[in-house]
Amino acid sequence: MLWASEVPGAASASLRAIRKKREGRIVDPPPALESPWALYRLTSSELLNRPTWLPAPGLLGPALARFSDSSPVTVSDVFSVKLGIRAGDREVFVIDTKQYDDLPARERSGFKPIAEKDGIDGGGIVATRYLFLAARYRSGRRIGRAFPVILRAILLPRKSTLAQRQRVDPKRWWRLAEARNTWRNRKDPRIVSRGGFAQWVRCRCGRHLHSSTSIRVVFSTRLRQDIAQNRRFGTLADVLRLYCILFSSDVFFRIVREFSTNASGGQVDLQQKYLNLVPIPLLPSWLAANRELSSMTDKFDPNVFPTLSERNAFAARCYGLDTNTL
């Protein structure tokens, strides 16, 4: 199996390496995790069990397999991964803070703050974008009465385009392409992702509505039972914060990359079909069985998100990986 990253020149470098290997100049490809390419063996059965035929980096070697054997738990066993809202036309439905502030106070109620890449930092969320929600309105006339400025300045200029979107009723052209309301109003603590991971606990006013084409929202499932059996490690929100620390590490990125594909810009694709197969520790039980790991979490300041090096050390310990090779 030959894999090359999105880094410019990686593909040509890998082909040169293959030629050298054939000519006997090198025996094995470079093993470094930062290598932009990799050449390794993969059986046909292993390939058939993968969620995609596209090559994976294969840079973690047997270490990841050892973890999976000792803890055969995957993301799908612990979380239920959900897609966030798909607006269908971000230029219309999503505005920034300045545009939001310029609206009449009465019309701001049509927008809800959303989690975006530049608003996820340090495991927390600061809304920098707002999404227009008008699904409850059944006619353009009602939209005009409730939001005259929004209708005139934002919606009407794009009416014909909005009406032609797939999965949208042309008679309800002001609606989002995919609202995905089934999970949105639940009060469960959750984790969201868009270029980073952040813990989200629903506030009383319900003002944070996490939405975007690439947002993934997760609700805990099996995790609740494990937390109940290991209460000394905190509440669901406490454990989700530890998962945010784990997910926000370079180590986790490299592990996910073994099961997913690279999107533009080097990010990994977090669709359910990929993310659900990623092995993860069931943290409450894992902490109860590993005193060193438990001691590491005790040192985390609850008011300060750990540094990248601390997150990497924690994630490496969770997976039994050697930080010196990472």
Mean pLDDT by 10 residues, the chain (326 residues): 82 84 62 71 78 75 73 86 72 84 86 69 70 76 84 85 79 73 62 65 44 54 89 88 90 85 67 85 92 91 89 90 64
| H or E segment and range at residue 83 | strand 79-83
Containing structural domain, residue 94 = 85-214
Residue 113 is assigned to a structural domain of this protein: yes
- Final residue before a domain boundary, out of 158, 180, 214: 214
**Are residues 27 and 91 both part of a single domain?**
no
Domain assignment present for residue 47? The answer is yes
Our CA angle for 321, 296, 249, nearest 5°, is 50
Secondary structure element (H or E) that encloses residue 160, with its range: helix 159-163
* Inside any domain, residue 319: no
Say what the alpha-carbon torsion angle 122, 209, 129, 139 is, to the nearest 10 degrees: 180
Q: Rounded to two decimals, what is the model's pTM?
A: 0.75
Residues 50 and 102 in one domain: no
End-of-domain residue from the set 173, 194, 214:
214
Residue 148 sits at the vertex; the CA angle it makes with 105 and 96, to the nearest 5 degrees, is 55
CA–CA gap between residue 245 and residue 283 (Å, rounded): 12
Residue 105, amino acid: A
Contact assessment for residue 299 and residue 306, using Cβ atoms and an 8 Å cutoff: no
Are both 47 and 92 inside the same structural domain? no
Say if 243 falls within a structural domain: no
* 206 in the same domain as 98: yes
> Domain check: are 97 and 51 in the same one?
no
Closest to 124 in 3D by CA, of 137, 115, 133: 115
Tell me what pLDDT residue 213 has: 40
50-53 contact pairs (CB < 8 A, 24+) = 50/259, 51/259, 51/260, 51/273, 51/274, 51/277, 52/260, 52/261, 52/273, 52/274
- Start-to-end CA distance of the chain, whole Å, equals 22
Distance of CA 139 to the CA centre of its chain: 35
Contact criterion met (CB below 8 Å) for 129 and 210: no
The span from the CA of 292 to the CA of 278, in Å, is: 24
Same domain, 119 and 209: yes
Residue 265 lies in a domain: no
45 and 109 fall within a common domain: no
Please indicate, yes or no, if residue 186 is contained in any of the structural domains: yes
| Per-residue confidence (pLDDT) for residue 23, from 0 to 100 | 74
Closest to 120 in 3D by CA, of 210, 232, 230: 210
Number of domain units in the chain: 2
Shared-domain flag, residues 92 and 47: no
> Domain check: are 50 and 93 in the same one?
no
Considering the domain architecture, whether residues 7 and 113 belong to the same structural domain is answered as: no
Residue 146: inside a domain: yes
- What is the predicted pLDDT for the residue at 302? 86
In a domain, 204, yes or no: yes
Phi, psi of 214, deg, nearest 5: -110, 10
Instruction: Please give the pLDDT value at position 288.
Output: 93
As a three-state string, the secondary structure of 35-47 is: CCEEECCCCHHHH
Q: Are residues 93 and 32 in the same domain?
A: no
**Residue 100, both tokens:** 């939001």
Same domain, yes or no: 37 and 139 = no
**DSSP code at position 109:** G
Among the three residues 214, 229, 260, which one is the final residue of a domain in this structure?
A: 214
The pLDDT assigned to 10 comes to: 85
